[in-house]
Amino acid sequence: MGHIAKGASKIALPAFNKLPRARLEEMHDAAETVIECETVLRKSGMSVVSEVLRDQGTFTTWERYPKGDIFDPDTHCQYFYHAHAAEEMITGENGHFHLFVRPDALAPGLAPWDLPGAKIPEDPAARFAHIGAISVNAKGTPLRIFTTNRWVTDETFYRANDVIGLLDHFTIELAHPNWAVNLWLSAMVALYRPQFEALLRARDARIEAWLEAHPDSAVLEDRGLQNTSEVVIDPHWQITAIEAELDL
């Protein structure tokens, strides 16, 4: 299914038999929410793609949709949707959702990772961390999850362990642009929680390996390293694996 863009590392599928039952139950609940949101949208002639692009004009490569991003001031979470050039996406990909959290409000004092090329706003409230991106096709079917180098999203770069500690906080509780889309994104992070965690760890390993191979590089700004880790996702496989461990 397409290529790995500019240095991304593939990760192994998570071992669900090592996850706590409480985590598996949370993932199963999230799966039900994902399915419900997709069903309601489909019955209404909509999709997660159609709703973030609704009334936004011509869908243009690299533009962010909806314009101005979606930011929840209570949960301190944020996202936007966009597309790269076709050669930078996998086969069938229409675009992807970039997901963020703002650490200062959730974990005050969390220190960014001071790597070569790091850009760290002086005001902690202006710092935001990218937890990952979800690629979808034109119908909104999820295809893969991936992480990126700092320059791609202009994020403040934190170590994987710190970002992993924020994953459970990702929730968008807004009606705009569509409540079902926001609920779907929130549930997708919970459903694929093990993959997001593994991707972030693989991202750090890829960054460190790149810096070792290119010691004079401002690694976080190096255009030779774009996507840092990725995993193809299959909702049917995910739900089947969860239910097998829960004996459902």
Contact 196, 230 (CB under 8 A): no
Regions of the chain with pLDDT less than 70 = 1-7
**What is the predicted pLDDT for the residue at 13?**
73
78 DSSP β-pair partners: 71, 100
What is the pLDDT at residue 95?
97
pLDDT of residue 6: 46
3 state SS of 66: strand
DSSP 8: P
- Cα–Cα distance measured from residue 109 to residue 118, given in angstroms and rounded to the nearest whole number: 17
Q: How far is CA 47 from CA 39, 41, 44, 97, in A?
A: 9, 5, 9, 13
* In contact, 113 and 157? CB cutoff 8 Å: yes
Distance between the two ends of the chain, CA-based, in angstroms?
A: 31
The domain locations on the chain are: 20-246
12 CB-contact burial (10 Å; exposed 0-12 / middle 13-18 / buried 19+): exposed
Q: Which amino acid is at 194?
A: P
Strands 227-232 and 9-10: parallel
Q: What is the per-residue pLDDT across 201-216, written as a single tens digit (0 to 9) for each?
A: 999 999 999 999 999 9
